[in-house]
Structure 1
């Protein structure tokens, strides 16, 4: 999985993993964040 996303706080990122539709791991440059569903402020590009 390598969908590009945008987050209001963290900026542009890339989805690196999906946890059974409960959360996604997103890599924003050097930082990786786990964002729980329903994925607030996260927009697929």
Structure 2
């Protein structure tokens, strides 16, 4: 079975089809509670340009965009 390459194709300016929407990243603020599939419950300590620093109790992790498996509570 072949996988689709649509995500890797570039949009041509002469194409009659609409440009695919840009990915939307969730925005986080300091002090918010979040959950991560691997690390569990945590609190956002610092929001950087393309990353967030989160305190998960025994460890602090820096997670970069696209914030995979990270959700607000």
Indicate whether the TM-score tops 0.5: yes
Is 2:54 the partner of 1:26?
A: yes
Structure with larger Rg: 2
Residue 41 of structure 2 is matched in structure 1 by: 12
TM-score (norm 1): 0.93
Unaligned runs of 5+ in 2: 1-29
Residue-pair matches, total: 44
Gaps of 5+ in 1: none
Runs of 4+ more than 3 Å apart: none
Aligned to 1:40: 68
Q: 3-state DSSP class of the match of 1:15?
A: strand
The alignment yields a C-alpha RMSD, in angstroms, of 0.5
